[in-house]
């Protein structure tokens, strides 16, 4: 199994096998990164993978899982911006079961 040396921010250089690395790549941006769990401190580290590193890692057998940006980023936003008062009102609303139930009913009847 191919050995790789990675750097844990806490412990410094550690040796892992290629199977200990997990990669992912964004379909829309091409941004690639890999992660590993330190064998000493058990902390997960994530590292960006520049094109050269990506090529080396994929050549060594790491599968980069494809992922997409959230669809919400493409949503057209309109309407009022939520402010602190709205959050406080919402907080108070969800703390009172009767008010919350009434709000849900009101919401369902407007849609
Ligand atoms: Zn560590």
Q: Model confidence at 110, in pLDDT bands (50, 70, 90)?
A: confident
**What's the 34 CA to ligand 1 centre distance in angstroms?**
16
The partner residues of 15 in beta bridges, in order of sequence, read 5
pTM of the shown model: 0.66
Burial (CB < 10 A; 0-12, 13-18, 19+), residue 53, is middle
Same domain, 56 and 94: no
**What's the 9 CA to ligand 1 centre distance in angstroms?**
6
Same domain, 94 and 61: no
**What's the 22 CA to ligand 1 centre distance in angstroms?**
17
| Total number of domains constituting the chain | 2
Same domain, 10 and 42: yes
Same domain, 50 and 102: no
Q: For 17-70, write each residue's pLDDT tens digit.
A: 999 999 999 999 999 999 999 999 999 999 999 999 999 999 988 999 999 999
Which residues are CB-contacts of 104 (< 8 A; sequence separation ≥ 6)?
none
Same domain, 16 and 64: yes
Same domain, 41 and 60: yes
Which residues are CB-contacts of 41 (< 8 A; sequence separation ≥ 6)?
8, 10, 11
Same domain, 34 and 65: yes
Same domain, 93 and 49: no
| pLDDT above 70 (res 111) | no
**What's the 37 CA to ligand 1 centre distance in angstroms?**
8
**1-38 b/e with 16+ CB inside 10 Å = b?**
eeebebebeeeeebebeeebbbbbbeeeeeebbbebbb
Q: Which domain holds residue 64?
A: 3-69
Same domain, 7 and 59: yes
Same domain, 57 and 92: no
Q: What is the pLDDT, as a whole number, of residue 100?
A: 86
* Cα–Cα distance for residue pair 11/75, rounded to 1 Å: 42
Q: What is the pLDDT, as a whole number, of residue 29?
A: 95
**What's the 32 CA to ligand 1 centre distance in angstroms?**
22
Same domain, 41 and 83: no
Q: What is the pLDDT, as a whole number, of residue 104?
A: 87
Same domain, 41 and 89: no
Q: Tell me what percent of the residues of the chain surpass a pLDDT of 70.
A: 99
């Amino acid at each position: 199994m191919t050995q790789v040396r990675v750097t844990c921010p806490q412990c410094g250089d550690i040796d892992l096998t290629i199977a200990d690395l997990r990669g992912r790549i964004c379909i829309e941006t091409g941004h690639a990164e890999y992660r590993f769990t330190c064998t000493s401190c058990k902390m997960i580290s994530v590292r960006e993978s520049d094109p050269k590193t990506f090529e080396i890692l994929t050549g060594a057998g790491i599968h980069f899982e494809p992922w997409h940006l959230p669809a919400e980023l493409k949503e057209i936003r309109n309407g009022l911006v939520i402010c602190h008062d709205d959050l406080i009102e919402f907080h108070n609303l969800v703390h009172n079961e009767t008010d919350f139930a009434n709000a849900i009913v009101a919401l369902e009847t407007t849609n």
